[in-house]
Structure 1
Amino acid sequence: MAVRMDVTPALRCRGLRRRYGDLIAVDGVSFEIALGETYGLLGPNGAGKTTVISMVAGVLRADAGEVSVAGQPMTPRTPAVKARIGYVPQDVALYPDLSGRENLRFFARLYGLSRAEARSRVAEVLETIGLAERARDPVGEYSGGMKRRLNIGVGLLHQPRLLILDEPTVGVDPQSRNAILASVEALATGGMAVLYTTHYMEEAQRLCDRVGVIDNGRLVAEGTVRELTALVGEHDRVVLAADGDLPAAAEKLRTVAGVREVSVGAGRLELLCGDGRAALPEILACLASAGVAVRSVELREPDLEAVFLHLTGKSLRD
C-alpha cells in the first residue's frame, strides 16, 4: 500500500486585505509555502510586506482573507497556531546583560519548553547558528552579526513549521551574513518552511525557491527566478571570445534551437538564448563545425534586479 504524502502547505494565504483609513495597504494577496521551501517576499519600501508578515504571524488581523499554518486557521487569538511559527523581526530583541545561552533559555521557557527540553534545544540551536563557543559571553559583547544569528536562534527554539525572517542580514558584516545565509539554507534542507524578506537581491536569488513581488499592496508576480525572468521577456546572454569567420558562424548559430539573437563584434559573438545552459553544448558544437576557435565563454543569466525594476519601476532599496 502506497504511503500518502502530506501535501498540506506550511503556510497558505488567501485574499489578504488590510486598510488603514483611506489607504489600502494590502489588497488581495494570496500565496502558499510548502514544507522545505524558502519563499522570498520582495517589494520596495511601503509596498505592504510588513503588513503581510504581521497578518501571517497573527499580530495583525486581516480585514478580509485568511491565513492558515499547517492547515490550521490563524488569527490573533489562536495561540496554538502561532506556536507553529518562528518570527525573527528586523530589530534585534535580546537582553544584552545575559549571555547567549541565558537568552535562549529564557525564551525557551517562554515558549513553554520544560527545563530539560530547553537545555537540549538551546544546545542544538547554538550549534545551528554557530555560537556554541561564545554561548557564555554577554550578548552586549557580541558583534552585530552575532546578535542577528542569536536572534534567529530564538525563533528556532520551539522547532516551528514556518520561520519568518524579516531582513535578517541588515547591517551585518560579510562573514556573519554568509553564516546566516548558510544557516537558512540548512533549515530549508531540513524541511522547515521559510518566509524571507530582504533588500539584497542576491540573497533572494541564492536562497529562494520561489519569489513573490509585492507592489502597492498587490502581488504583481510570483514564481521561480527562471519563471519570473521569462515572464518579463528576459533572456540569458552568452558571450564568446572567438577567432575565425564570425559572421558566417553567426548565421549558423541562428539555426540552433533556443538561440533568439546573435550579434558579432570584434573577436566576439553575443547570443540571446531562452536557456543558455541548455543551448551551450550545441552552440559550441556549431562553432567547432564552422572552424571557429573559442577562447572563452561567459554565461550571463538575467537576475531578479532586472525583473523587479521591470515590474515595479523601482529598485528594491527604493
Structure 2
Amino acid sequence: MIGITTGDPSGIGPEVALKAIDAIEHNNILLIGPLSIINKERRSLGISRIPEVVDLGDSVEIPFGKPSKESGEIAYKTIIKAIKLLKENRITALVTAPVSKEAISMAGYNFIGHTEMLADAFKVQRYAMFFYSKKINIALVTRHIPLSMVSKKLSIQRVYDTITLTYEFLLRYWKVLQVRERAVIGVLALNPHAGEGGNIGDEEGKIILPAIRLAKKDGIDVEGPLVPDTAYLTAVKQARCGFDAFIAMYHDQGLIPLKLLEFERAVNITLGLPFLRTSPSHGTAYDIAGKGIADHGSMEEAIRLAILLGSHRKGTVPPLRHEGHEEHKEKEI
C-alpha cells in the first residue's frame, strides 16, 4: 500500500496528487489529507474517482497562492499522519506532495524538510537526497542550507556516505532504473576548476578526494573530483550519460542541471530509509495554484517509481559501512 500526502493546500499539491492518481489508476493507494480540501479540488478538476482517504478532519478554508499558518499546520499534520501509518505498517511506501518550509515555520514547527523529518522519525543517521530521471541522476551531500554554510558542513564521512548510499541504491535497483549493473559514479568538486590544486579552495584535497579513495577501497567505480562546469556534459551530449549518478556538494550544483534537463519528470528519492519515499522534484508553485494548470508529470513519475521499486524490493544490499571509517568518523550536525 502506498501513502500519498496532499502537501500544502495553498499550493499545487492536492491538484497534482489527484491528477497523477487519476492517470495511474492504481488500487493500493491511501490519500492522506483533509477530505474537504480533496473533494473541493476533485470537483474543480472534474475527477470522479479518488482512492481511500485518510482524513485529517480539517475543514478550514485555505486560500490559494501564499503560505500561511493554517496551510503549514495542515501540511505538517499530513506528514505526521503518514509517519504514523508507516509505523503501523498500513503503508509500505510514501509519496509526498510539495510543502512550504515557510508555511510550516509559520505554524510554529522547526522543519528543515521531508528528508530530515522522516530520517529523524525513524532514527536513521545515514541518509541522502537522490534525484532520478531518464537522463541524469544526482545525489546531494548537503541539502537545504545557506550557501555560506556548505564548506563548513562538508566532511569526508558525509561525502563518503553519499557515495555509498547512492551505490547501494543503484546496485539494488539497477535493472529497474536502467543503469549499469556496476554503476559508475562521478563526484563533483566544490570549487571552480576543482580547486586548481588548492589555489581556489582546498576542500577537494582535504575532504572530497579522501572520501573518493575510501569508496574506491570498497570496490566502487567512482571518479572525481570532477570540474563542476563541465561534468554534466556527457548527460547532454551523449545518448547515455558517462556516469550512472553524480554526487553534488550542494543543492543548486545538482538541481540546476537536473531541472534544466528533466524538470517535468525528475523524482526525488530519500536513500537510507527503511521504506520507499519519493516525491516530485518541484515545489508548491503558489503562482499557479488553484488554476488547474499544474503539470502533474513529476508527481505521476514519483508514484509510478514508488510502485515499480516496491514491486522489485527483494532482498537487501548490505550497506558497506554503517558506522563509517573510524579514522574519519565525525559527528554531523
Category of TM-score, reference length = shorter chain: 0.3 to 0.5
Higher helix share: 2
The structure with the largest alpha-carbon Rg is 1
TM-score by length of 1: 0.32
TM-score by length of 2: 0.31
Higher strand share: 1
Structure with larger RCO (C-alpha < 8 A, sep 6+): 2
